C-alpha cells in the first residue's frame, strides 16, 4: 500500500483578538497624577486632608491608591474591582469616575451599555473640571479616537479658551474643526491656524493645514494665495518649493508644478525628493526615459539619507513591478544603491522582498544571508534566511544556516524548528525529529502557540516515518496546547482518514477547519477526502468542487487525484481520467496515479 504524500501546505489563519482603544497606554500615566495631588484649595470631586474629608471619602481614597498599585502590577481584574468600590463609596469624585469610566470603555467594546456609561463618566469629569489640563487633553484624545467630532471640537475649543498661549491645543482644535467637514468650521480652522502663525511664524506645516481646508472649500484662488504667502514669507528653500509643486499638481497645474520642482532642484541639487517629484511628472506624461533619469538622480544624491532613498525606491518598484519588462531597470537601481550602501541590512531586506515578490527565493535568501552577516544577534534574520533557502528547495543550505544559528542562539526554539523542517524536507527524518524535539525543550514557558506548532511538526514527521500511532499522540498534544491550531487539526483529520480510523471524529475535526477557513483549499480537500472514505460520494463531490474552484489558477496534484477518485465513484469516469492525467503531470513519479491513468479506473491505495 502506497502512503499518501504528506501535506506540507499549511493552513493559514488570520490573527484574531479584540482591539482595545488605542490610547489605553495613557491610563497609568493619568492615574499616577492622583498620587501627587496637592492640597491648597479643595473643590468638588478632589478631596484632601481637611475637616470636611468624610470617612467614606477617606476610605475611597485608600482604595483608589490600592487600585493604582494593582494597575502597576498589571492585575487588571483587581484594579477594576477596586476602582468600582472606590467610586461606589464616593460617586462625587469625578476623577475616580474618569479612570473607572475609561477602563469600562476599554473592556466594554462588545458591551455598548457599559461603554456608554464609561464614556459618560469621563465626560462628567471634564464638565466638572475643564481646567484640569491633562485630564481634559486625555478626554479630547479619546473623542478623537472615537470619531466624536462635535465633542472633540467642544473640548479643544474649551481648552483653547483656557490656554490661548498653547499652540498645540490650538492645532488640535483646528484639526477637529477640519474633521467635521462643515464649511463654517473649515473657515474657523483657517482663522485658528492664522492665529498660530502670527505667534509662531510661517511654517509649511501650518500652510499645508490651511491648504487642506481651502481645497475642501474648493477655494482655488485662496489655495494658490496661501502657497504664494508661504514662498514669500522668507528665504526660499527646496522643501517649500516642492510643497508648492505638489499643490499645483493636485490642482492639475502641471506646468507650474514642474517649474517649482525645477526651482527646488536648482536651489538644492542634493535634495533627492525634488528629482523624485520630477520623475513622477515624467511618468504621468509617459516619458519613461525622463522617469528613470530622475529616479536615478534622486538615489545617487549623497546628501539624501538612505531612508528617503529607500522610500523613493519602494514607490519606484511599486509602479514598475507589475510590468515584467521593467524589472531589469529595478535591478539596475538596486545595484546602484548597493554599491553605495553594501552593508545596509535594511536595503538587503528590501532587495530580498523584491525577489520574494518575483518568486526568486534563492536570490532572496542570498540577500538575507548577506544581511545576516551584519546582524547576527537578530534571531528573525536567522529564521528568515533558513525559511527562504527552504522555499528555494535548497535544503542543505537551509540546514547549514540553521546549524550556524543554533550554535549562536541555542535557546531560540524557532531557529531549531525551521532547521528541523529543513532536515525533514531533505529526507533526514531521524535528525529532523531530534531537532524538533530539541526545539520543544527550549520553548519559552507559557508559549503554548509555539509549543503547539512544534508538536504538530513532530506529528507530521512521525507519520511520514510510518508511525501513525505516535504521530496521533503528538497531534493530540498539539491541539491540547492550542485548540486553534488548524494545521494540527487538519493533518490529524486527514491522516485518520488515510488510516481508516474513527472517520466520524475525523469529519468533526475537519469541519472545524472548514468553518474557520471556508476558502482554504487544503481544508476543503481534507473534508472531501474524509467524506469519500465514508462513501458519502455526493457530498464529497460538492466539497471537492469548491476546492477545485479555489485552485483554478494553481492546481495541486493531491487535490486533482482526490477529485478523480470522487468523480469516478460518482459515475463520471471520463472526468475522473482527466483529473488523474492532470495530477500525473504535476506528480510524474506517483506510481498509483500512473496505474489509474493506464487502466482508466480507480484503485484503492
Domain-terminating residue out of 146, 178, 205: 146
Q: What is the pLDDT of residue 107?
A: 81
Domain contains 78: yes
Among 262, 270, 248, which residue's Cα sits nearest to residue 290?
262
595 domain-assigned: yes
CATH of the domain at 110: 1.25.40
pLDDT at 479: 96
Residue 565 lies in a domain: yes
Tell me how many degrees the CA angle 427-456-461 measures, rounded to the nearest 5: 20
Distance CA 196, CA 164 (A): 10
Give residue 582's pLDDT: 96
Distance from chain centroid for Cα 364? 21
Any idea which residue has 535557546 for its cell?
Answer: 411
Among 88, 114, 146, which residue terminates a domain? 146
User: What cell numbers appear for 35 in the block?
Assistant: 498620587
Q: How far does Cα 284 stand from its chain's mean position?
A: 31
Residue 585 sits in which domain range?
Answer: 555-605
Q: What pLDDT does 22 receive? A: 29
- Counting the structural domains of the chain, the total is 2
73 found inside a domain: yes
162 Cβ contact partners less than 8 Å away, ≥ 6 residues apart: 130, 131
d(CA 531, CA 514): 13
Q: What does the alpha-carbon distance between residue 497 and residue 15 come to, in Å, rounded to a whole number?
A: 29
Q: What is the pLDDT of residue 24?
A: 32
What is the Cα–Cα distance from 501 to 497, expressed in whole angstroms?
6
> DSSP of 251-266, one letter per residue?
TT-HHHHHHHHHHHHH
pLDDT value at residue 19? 26
Q: Among 113, 146, 179, which residue terminates a domain?
A: 146
Has residue 16 been placed in a domain? no
Asked, for residue 15, whether it belongs to a domain, the answer is: no
pLDDT of residue 12: 29
The answer to whether residue 308 sits within a structural domain is: no
Asked if residue 142 belongs to a domain, the reply is: yes
Residue with cell 472517520: 503
Please, are residues 179 and 152 in contact by the beta-carbon 8 Å criterion? yes
For residue 556, give the C-alpha cell.
495541486
pLDDT confidence of residue 18: 23
Across the 605 residues of the chain, what is the mean pLDDT of every consecutive 10-residue run? 35 27 32 32 40 80 89 87 91 90 81 87 93 91 91 95 94 94 94 93 92 94 94 89 93 92 88 80 80 76 72 70 73 82 87 86 94 91 94 95 96 96 94 96 93 96 95 96 95 95 95 94 96 96 96 93 96 95 94 92 77
Amino acid at each position: 500500500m502506497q502512503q499518501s504524500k504528506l501535506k506540507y501546505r499549511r493552513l493559514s489563519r488570520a490573527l484574531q483578538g479584540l482591539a482595545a482603544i488605542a490610547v489605553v497606554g495613557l491610563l497609568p500615566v493619568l492615574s499616577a497624577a492622583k498620587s501627587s495631588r496637592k492640597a491648597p484649595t479643595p473643590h468638588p470631586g478632589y478631596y484632601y486632608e481637611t475637616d470636611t474629608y468624610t470617612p467614606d471619602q477617606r476610605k475611597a481614597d485608600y482604595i483608589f491608591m490600592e487600585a493604582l498599585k494593582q494597575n502597576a502590577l498589571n492585575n487588571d481584574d483587581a484594579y477594576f474591582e477596586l476602582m468600582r468600590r472606590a467610586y461606589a463609596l464616593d460617586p462625587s469624585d469625578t476623577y475616580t469616575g474618569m479612570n473607572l469610566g475609561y477602563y469600562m470603555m476599554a473592556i466594554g467594546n462588545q458591551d455598548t451599555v457599559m461603554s456608554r456609561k464609561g464614556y459618560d463618566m469621563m465626560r462628567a469629569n471634564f464638565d466638572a473640571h475643564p481646567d484640569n489640563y491633562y485630564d481634559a487633553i486625555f478626554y479630547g484624545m479619546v473623542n478623537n479616537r472615537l470619531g466624536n467630532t462635535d465633542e472633540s471640537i467642544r473640548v479643544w475649543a474649551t481648552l483653547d479658551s483656557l490656554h490661548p498661549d498653547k499652540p498645540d491645543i490650538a492645532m488640535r482644535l483646528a484639526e477637529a474643526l477640519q474633521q467635521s467637514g462643515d464649511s463654517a468650521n473649515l473657515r474657523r480652522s483657517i482663522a485658528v491656524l492664522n492665529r498660530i502663525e502670527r505667534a509662531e511664524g510661517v511654517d509649511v506645516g501650518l500652510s499645508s493645514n490651511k491648504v487642506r481646508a481651502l481645497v475642501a472649500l474648493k477655494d482655488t484662488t485662496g489655495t494658490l494665495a496661501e502657497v504664494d504667502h508661504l514662498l514669500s514669507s522668507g528665504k526660499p528653500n527646496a522643501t517649500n518649493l516642492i510643497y508648492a509643486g505638489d499643490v499645483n499638481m493636485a490642482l492639475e497645474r502641471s506646468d507650474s508644478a514642474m517649474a517649482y520642482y525645477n526651482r527646488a532642484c536648482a536651489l538644492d541639487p542634493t535634495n533627492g525628493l525634488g528629482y523624485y517629484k520630477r520623475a513622477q511628472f515624467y511618468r504621468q506624461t509617459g516619458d519613461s526615459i525622463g522617469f528613470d533619469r530622475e529616479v536615478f538622480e534622486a538615489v545617487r544624491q549623497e546628501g539624501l539619507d538612505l531612508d528617503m532613498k529607500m522610500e523613493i525606491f519602494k514607490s519606484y518598484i511599486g509602479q514598475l513591478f507589475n510590468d515584467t519588462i521593467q524589472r531589469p531597470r529595478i535591478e539596475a537601481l538596486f545595484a546602484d544603491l548597493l554599491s553605495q550602501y553594501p552593508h545596509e541590512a535594511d536595503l538587503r531586506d528590501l532587495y530580498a522582498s523584491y525577489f520574494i515578490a518575483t518568486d526568486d527565493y534563492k536570490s532572496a535568501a542570498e540577500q538575507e544571508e548577506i544581511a545576516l552577516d551584519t546582524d547576527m544577534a537578530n534571531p528573525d534574520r536567522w529564521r528568515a534566511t533558513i525559511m527562504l533557502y527552504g522555499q528555494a528547495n535548497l535544503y542543505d543550505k537551509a540546514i547549514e544556516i540553521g546549524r550556524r544559528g543554533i550554535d549562536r542562539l541555542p535557546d531560540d526554539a524557532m531557529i531549531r524548528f525551521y532547521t528541523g523542517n529543513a532536515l525533514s524536507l531533505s529526507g533526514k527524518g531521524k535528525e529532523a525529529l531530534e531537532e524538533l524535539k530539541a526545539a520543544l525543550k527550549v520553548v519559552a514557558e507559557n508559549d503554548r502557540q509555539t509549543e503547539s506548532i512544534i508538536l504538530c511538526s513532530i506529528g507530521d514527521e512521525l507519520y511520514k516515518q510510518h508511525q501513525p500511532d505516535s504521530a496521533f499522540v503528538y497531534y493530540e498534544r498539539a491541539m491540547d496546547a492550542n485548540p486553534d491550531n488548524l494545521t494540527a487539526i487538519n493533518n490529524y483529520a486527514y491522516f485518520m482518514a488515510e488510516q481508516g480510523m474513527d472517520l466520524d471524529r475525523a469529519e468533526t475535526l475537519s469541519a472545524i477547519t472548514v468553518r474557520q477557513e471556508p476558502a482554504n483549499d487544503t481544508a476543503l480537500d481534507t473534508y472531501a477526502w474524509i467524506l469519500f472514505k465514508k462513501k458519502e460520494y455526493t457530498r464529497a463531490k460538492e466539497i471537492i468542487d469548491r476546492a477545485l474552484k479555489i485552485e483554478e489558477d494553481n492546481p495541486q496534484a493531491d487535490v486533482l487525484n482526490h477529485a478523480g477518485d470522487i468523480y469516478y465513484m460518482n459515475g463520471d469516469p471520463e472526468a475522473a481520467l482527466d483529473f488523474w492525467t492532470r495530477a500525473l503531470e504535476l506528480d510524474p513519479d506517483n506510481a498509483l496515479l500512473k496505474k489509474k491513468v493506464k487502466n482508466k479506473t480507480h484503485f484503492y491505495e
